[in-house]
Structure 1
Amino acid sequence: MVRIALPLFAPASSAPGSSSRAHVTCKYKCGEACWQEPGNTSDNEYFGDVVRSMVSRRSVLKGTATAAIGLGAASALAACGDDGGSATSAPSTPPVTGTGTGDGMNFAAVAPNTTDAVVIPAGYEQSVVIRWGDPVIPGAPEFDFTAQTPQAQEKQFGFNNDFAGLIAIDGEPDRFYLVCNQEYTTEEFMFAGYTAKNPTENQARVSMAAHGITVVEVAAESGSGKLTPVVGQRNRRITASTPFTLTGPAAGSEFVKTSADPAGTTILGTIANCSGGLTPWGTMLSGEENYNNYFAGADGITDKATKERLDRYSFADESDYHQWGRFEQRFDLSKNPNEANRFGYIVEVNPHDPSSTPIKHSSMGRLKHESANIFVTSDGTVVAYTGDDERFEYIYKFVSSRKIRSGSGNSAMRDNMRILEVGTLYVAKLTGDSPQSIDGSGKLPADGKFAGSGTWLPLLTVNEDGTSESKIDGMTAAEVAVFTRVAADKAGATKMDRPEDIEPHPKTGKVYCALTNNTKRGTDGKAAADEANPRNENKNGQIIEFTDDHAGTAFTWELLLVCGDPAAADTYYGGFDKTKVSPISCPDNVAFDPHGNLWISTDGNALKSNDGLFAVALEGANRGETKQFLTVPKGAETCGPIITEDRIIVCVQHPGETDDASADAPASNWPDGGSAQPRPSVVAVWKTGGKIGV
């Protein structure tokens, strides 16, 4: 365990620079997206061009219903009731009873550092829950870095864990399903002597098996927050080769049919699974994000329409760092151009049944989905929010026309897993209150806040009878479902600074979205700063807060945080005294604690210190107070936070990924120490003899 005493705040000289994410991470994770031109070259009006709405932001939601129930695990389902009547408050996972006034943030903030360890506050303990290569499925061998095989990896915990969810197992209070995304692989850190442009077939197939999703039973230790994996029949590994069923308008369309799947309904595998969410009916949602950098052959496409669509999703041969197309033709677009259209969806997995077929939901659009998180309104309407994680992309929501079916049996689960197939997909258009004040410097408007209103623009509707309607002239519903970015361009959506995790607050109903950064903002030929994205060449990102008429089309918004060095003039911490906050940069994932505070994990901290996990107060006099709870090891990213009263769980992704490191000369030996290779892992932290933050 490591606890260090350092000055609480970074020195003022630590001026924001470029992201700390290593080049090698960008290669394998996102296909060097930051070194490429943004995929969005549309000329739809950007935020700063929009004329301010005649409707004031104080009246936009007047008279709308905002009462709501929270969501989370299967335990919420029992309180959902029938299809009609008023809502009954339902517990979320974890139960959120407060509105986020800063209660539950009583810990000594961890100072910025570059330590090769998970650094936690004094009075807390930690343990590693599970590491890359640990056995999950019965019969799995112990991990051997020097003798990896695809057969072994299919039964072991995957690489580069991102989202994590904890789902209670009915009738077993000390047992849970831990569900994790395995986002991407960094082959040159997985295999000694790896040749980037000439991998072996064994290496490529180990890589395929290390992707996807893991479901593993864990046992809670009495008296601590420790969790121990249980290797057993309940567990599951979903990989790049697992069959999925495609639903919605894209299913069976000409855009997803291949020679191997002429019906266009069965897709092999899920890849680039970034963040996700849990549903009230007990399933996991996972977002397929940077799938474009798994395909070869894009540059050889000669059909103009196909090429334009591939370009809009940033497909390029130089981004093919995994080289899977050498061994499976479906990843070679010159042979199977439609295979690209079979990734980029929200996928849904039933962790309670390891034999079930997971689903890809095309009704929710094809994007670079970061995540999907659900809010249930007072009348039982299910609303899912999602962000498209690339520069100048958009924020979306899906409003289902179905209600949750109560019950915990297989029949209820089957019905509930179809809720996200029927309804309307929207994209957000934002307007600012003070457009004349925005000059790209990040200077706060005269009214003291970055704020405005907005409208949800419809893209498609899927009806109960299975028919679907496009809301975009010149596009069919299938085209909107598969080429959703193009539809959103045509609709005139607002270009944002990399919308990542977006989650509704289970108690207040407000919706929070992490906008990580956008160094192209305001550069030549690119959209300039606007009130929701107020800085040109944005290196540090921001957090936006929506007050939404969830099932309707109107909302107001306000920036909670404009991240970066608190000493810099272009930062804003919700109006809180900036001399009393922990510096935060590049927000990525968000979560809520039982007190209702927002917790934020970071990716690529531009302040030259390790990434971390931060608690932020949302309401009252402490709104904007930001405290760092932990930091992750050298080269790592903080992912998938879960905050309960008993423990905090984070995924430590890509530890030791620095540009001067390799498998033969690792930059980190975390978590095993000594001369061991670094291994992405899940970590649990708990307070010795007490509750988190109390």
Structure 2
Amino acid sequence: MQSHGHHEEVIEDSNPTDNSEFNALLVKRRSFLKGGAGLTAAAFFGSFPLSSFARTEEVGVNLARPTSLKFSAVPHYTGDDMLVAEGYRAELILPMGTPIVDGVEDWRDDRMVLGESFKYRMGDNHDGMWFFGLNNHGYDPKHSERGLLAMNHEYTNPNLNPIENYTKDDPLAEKIYQKRRLASDVRREIHAHGVSVVEVKRTPTGYEMVKNSPFNKRYTSGTPTKLSGVAKGSEFVKTKIDPQGLTSIGINNQCGAGLSPWGTYLTTEENFLNVFARGADKTVIGDKNDKRASRYGLKENTIGDDAYAWHTPTDGEAHEFEVWDATAKAESVLATDDHRNNFNTFGYITEIDPFAPKSQAVKRTSLGRFAHENCAFVPPKQGEQLVFYMGDDARGEYIYKFVSDAKWSNIDIGGGLKAGDKYLDKGALYVAVFHEDGTGEWRELSKENPALADFTSDAEIAVFARLAADKVGATKMDRPEWVSVSPITREVYVTLTNNSRRKEEEVNAANPRSYDGKGNQHGHIIRFAETDGQTGGRFRWDIYLFASPFDKAEQNLSKLTADNDLSSPDGLFFDPRGVLWIQTDDGAYTSRTNCMLLAALPNKIGDGRSLTTSVGKETHMGAVATPDTLRRFFVGPQGCEVTGITMTPDCKALFINIQHPEGRFGAVAGGQTPRSGTVVITKKDGGVILGESLM
């Protein structure tokens, strides 16, 4: 995701490869863009089970997908409040700093709360989340009255720490690596990262937290986690604090998220680079170890984001903060003599069982290490392998697929972390190549691939997945963010948020726009369908939607109007009915409108046509959007990102998050500090979201 506030557009750009954007061995052009536009919702629902959600008959309400969008579109808006479609209410809950147990003081506008207290209060910058139905103290995928809300906290804003601790002119900032910060402020930030799990219950207007629930728990950048999978115990993750390579010091920069088929929370580590520093390194610049660190953005004498500098406090406990310094020290004989490998223990899909608060989070290393945005799975079928899709959110990075070795069994629903051991620790990791003819292929990242012969093991490939993907010629994409799989068609949708550095001469069919020297500033959504089954090696693709202001003719290839135009699609979520929800994280269109949430009714690949962009690149586009199939549903307050999205099984409540708002959004009564928070959207008549009115 883009960074704002504390991080002012810190977007990683560490892919130096000149990978051919498409495989040179192209088959002759295929006419795959045919047919399919006439599929109906009834036909869809007869084909695929909605196995990750409750079925219609189980929740007792009509969950048929709408045939068209009938609500009045929310207009463009630049104010400090939030707007939602007529007939709906939006309620703010769980703002940053809210205590989740008794004995913790309320958030104070002077920000003088103890950093350690964030182990027991909502963290900062709410992001990806999921609603887990709770019934009889356990997971119930059809229960909506009570549930556990698992939620990410991506990073921290300046308004987390006391005002007097920030100055614009820091005399120590000239040498960034030597900058010094207060231990109290760094502790506050460490514990404001991570994940919150809170119990919520339905109220007449939405939902509220159940304070002191035994399930309420925080996982932070200071909460030890387990390592599991192919890299567990390998030389690459052995550290000074754990020479066995079995644990990590915490979780960090949690961004998008998702559900596992068995009912656990799959959180992600995205911009983990930000909190690490690397000083004058004994590693020779250009050698193997340096290339590994640099490929993940950590070059010598740098900090991922200098606003953090977590390694610098001198007023803390012994060795408390040096774990964030990944420098290979000159005096070290072994890698475990310093903290260089701590960096390698971050960047993974991380599994949390919200129903087992005494358990540790588990980093699933077999799914690869990169800037994970989120993780989405294909609705499973009994006796078939599970398939997960992931994006690496940085400029010019890749799209990945993981196929588990184990075959799905329905008896594993509710199986917790043991089920995760079964399905996420052994399998095959692949990276995507998009061909210009509208086809694509998955290239395996393992020692079975001769192109990776110079890697010593599958553990090395997983820990340095980016380098392996470079070697096999993966297609560089315009910042792959959220991934979501249609429960109707099983097609995979990926937001490519934007890429300000995409040059006109570098466009390709899957990333075909660059304008006015600003690259692909508005982004697009690509989709693909497997052609050899979900575990197969080939797919076909098209671009579902080109984001653009409605009045930018050469960019507005999807013919958007003032009722549905958007910029920088980011969050992406298919609800149980097959409605697609699109969220934005924009900096290129905010003079006209704040970030937003749109509802969409996509069809499937093959419903559009081929076209040539104004920069001369031929591509494959889905059907033109209309207000009946794409419409603006919500607009957030000024300065915010609209992100994090989940829905109750009965589709009567939609949860979204408002990140880094400006003005006084989320401030305590009479206060001036804006705060991130969760918004619960419900229908005023108590009905199903986008359903027919009950009044």
Distance 1:486 1:670 in 2: 42
- Structure 1 residues 546 and 91, CA, compared in 2 at 3 Å: closer, same or farther? farther
Whether 2:658 is the aligned partner of 1:652: answer: yes
Pair 1:154-2:138 in alignment: no
- What is the CA deviation profile of residues 303-345 of structure 1, one whole-angstrom value per residue up to 9, with x for unaligned ones? 3222211111112414332111124111011242111111000
Partner of 2:18: 43
Q: Please show how residues 320-339 of structure 1 align to structure 2 within 5 Å.
A: 320-327=306-313, 328-334=321-327, 335-339=338-342
Whether 2:36 is the aligned partner of 1:52: answer no
Distance 1:23 1:398, change over 3 A: closer
Q: Shift of the alpha carbon at 1:377?
A: 4.3
1:474 aligns with 2:454: yes
Q: Which runs of 5+ in 1 are unaligned?
A: 1-18, 77-88, 434-451, 462-467, 657-666
Going from structure 1 to structure 2, the CA distance change for 1:188 and 1:470 (only over 3 Å counts) comes to farther
Asked if 1 retains the 8 angstrom alpha-carbon contact of 2:154 and 2:252, the reply is yes
Q: CA RMSD in A?
A: 3.0
Tell me if 1:677 matches 2:685. no
Aligned equivalent of 2:165: 194
Letter in structure 1 aligned against 2:292 = R
Q: How does 1:60-75 map to 2 (within 5 A)?
A: 68-72=48-52
Which residues of 2 match residues 240-255 of structure 1 at below 5 A?
240-255=221-236
- 1:262 and 2:243 matched: yes
Q: One-letter code of the match for 2:539? A: F
Is 2:269 the partner of 1:288? yes
Tell me the alpha carbon deviations over residues 12-60 of structure 1, each in whole angstroms, 9 at most, x when there is no partner: xxxxxxx9x7864434xx7x227xxx2111122113x745324736399
TM-score, structure 2 as length reference = 0.82
Structure 1-normalised TM-score?
A: 0.82
Letter in 2 for 1:565: P
Contact 2:232/2:245 (8 A) holds in 1 = yes
Contact persistence 1:188–1:195 (CA under 8 A): no
Instruction: Count residues with an aligned counterpart.
Output: 609
**Residues 394, 411 of structure 1: CA spacing in aligned structure 2 closer, same or farther, 3 A cutoff?**
closer
Measure the CA separation in 1 of the matches of 2:353 and 2:427. Answer: 21
Q: Which amino acid aligns with 1:472?
A: L
Q: How does 1:6-25 map onto structure 2 within 5 Å?
A: 24-25=5-6
The answer to whether the 8 Å contact 1:503/1:511 transfers is: yes
| 1:396 paired to 2:403 | no
1: distance between equivalents of 2:192 and 2:157?
Answer: 10
Cα deviation 1:175-195 (Å, max 9, x = unaligned)? 100010011112355321223
The partner residue of 2:11 within 12, 16, 33 is 33
Match of 2:509 in 1: 531
Determine helix, strand or coil for the equivalent of 2:506.
coil
- Once residues 234 and 356 of structure 1 are traced to their aligned partners in structure 2, the CA distance between those partners, rounded to angstroms, is 11
SS in 1 for 2:597: strand
The answer to whether the 8 A contact 2:528-2:539 is kept is yes
SS in structure 2 at match of 1:153: helix
Letter in 2 for 1:347: T
Deviations 1:92-151 (A, max 9, x none): 9x99754xx753x32111111111012112221121121111111343332224321123
Q: 1:596 aligns with which of 553, 578, 588?
A: 578
Shift of 1:297: 1.9
Amino acid of the residue matched to residue 659 of structure 2? Q
Q: Is the 8 A contact 1:61 1:555 kept in 2?
A: no
Q: Secondary structure at the match of 1:489?
A: helix
- Residue equivalent to 2:595: 611
The 1:329/1:580 distance shift into structure 2, 3 A limit, reads closer
Find the residue that maps to 1:152 and give its secondary structure. helix
1:71 shift after superposition: 4.5
Aligned equivalent of 2:538 = 554
Task: Confirm or deny: 8 A CA contact 2:153 2:254 kept in the other structure.
Answer: yes
Cα separation, 2, equivalents of 1:95 and 1:51? 49
Q: Which amino acid aligns with 1:333?
A: A
Deviations 1:458-517 (A, max 9, x none): 0028xxxxxx98872211211111110000000100000000001111121011000000
SS of the residue aligned with 2:292? helix
Contact 1:634 1:668 in 2 (8 A): no
Partner of 2:424: 420
Q: Which one of the candidate residues 293, 309, 312 is aligned to 2:295?
A: 312
By relative contact order (CA 8 Å, sep 6+), the higher-ranking structure is 1
Between the aligned partners of 1:114 and 1:623, the Cα distance in structure 2 is 24
Q: Which amino acid aligns with 1:473?
A: A
Would you say the 8 A contact 1:297–1:332 is kept in 2?
yes
Match of 1:26, SS? coil
Structure 1 pair 596–152 and aligned structure 2 pair: CA distance change class (3 A): same
Q: Residue 231 of structure 2 aligns to a residue in which SS?
A: coil
Give the Å deviation of 1:622. Answer: 7.8
2:610: which partner in 1? none
Q: 1:144: which partner in 2?
A: 108
For the structure 1 residues 269 and 643, does the alpha-carbon distance in structure 2 shift closer, same or farther, using more than 3 Å as the test?
same
What does residue 377 of structure 2 align with? 374
In structure 2, the CA distance between the partners of 1:593 and 1:33, relative to structure 1 (3 Å rule), is closer
Are the counterparts in 2 of residues 400 and 423 from structure 1 also a CA contact under 8 Å?
A: yes
Residues 214 and 493 of structure 1: CA distance in aligned 2, closer, same or farther (over 3 Å)? same
Per-residue CA deviations over 1:600-628 (Å, capped at 9, x if unaligned) read 11112411221111112202888553211
1:573 to 1:590, Cα distance in 2 relative to 1, 3 A: farther
Cα separation, 2, equivalents of 1:241 and 1:90? 43
Structure 2 vs 1, CA of residues 90 and 274 (structure 1 numbering), >3 Å: closer, same or farther?
farther
* 1:68–1:417 CA distance, 2 compared to 1 (3 A): farther
Q: CA deviation at 1:302?
A: 2.9
Matched, 1:363 2:360: no
Aligned to 2:391: 387
- Structure 2, gaps ≥5 residues long: 37-45, 137-142, 168-178, 314-320, 328-337, 608-622
Partners in 2 of 1:341 and 1:310 — Cα distance? 9
Alignment-mate amino acid for residue 529 of structure 1: V
Aligned twin of 1:455: 441
1:261 is paired with a residue of what secondary structure?
A: coil
Q: 1:137 to 1:670 in 2, by over 3 A?
A: closer
Q: Which letter does structure 2 place at the counterpart of 1:341?
A: N
- How far apart are residue 153 of structure 1 and its match? 1.2
Question: What is the CA distance between 1:388 and its match in structure 2?
Answer: 0.2
Distance in structure 2 (CA, Å) of the matches to 1:216 and 1:141: 18
Superposed CA deviations along residues 239-273 of structure 1, whole A, max 9, x for unmatched, are 11112111122111111111110000111200011
Partner of 1:662: none
Q: Distance in 1 between matches of 2:488 and 2:216?
A: 32
Structure-2 residue corresponding to 1:122 = 86
SS at match of 2:227: strand
Residue of structure 2 aligned with 1:214, choices 192, 196, 202: 196
Letter in 1 for 2:598: F
SS of the residue 1:512 aligns to: strand
* Superposed displacement of residue 672, structure 1: 4.3
Deviations, residues 429-454 of structure 1 (Å, cap 9, x unaligned): 01123xxxxxxxxxxxxxxxxxx110
Q: Assess, with a 3 A threshold, how the Cα gap between structure 1 residues 301 and 412 changes in structure 2: closer, same or farther.
A: same
Distance in 2, matches of 1:375 and 1:482, equals: 24
- Check the 8 A contact 1:51/1:431 in 2, yes or no: no
CA contact (8 A) 2:124 2:192 kept: yes
Distance 1:406 1:256, change over 3 A: same
| Contact kept? 2:657, 2:679, Cα under 8 Å | yes
Indicate the residue corresponding to 1:691 in structure 2.
688
Aligned residues with identical type, % of pairs: 32
Between 295-304 and 476-485, the greater mean CA deviation after superposition: 295-304
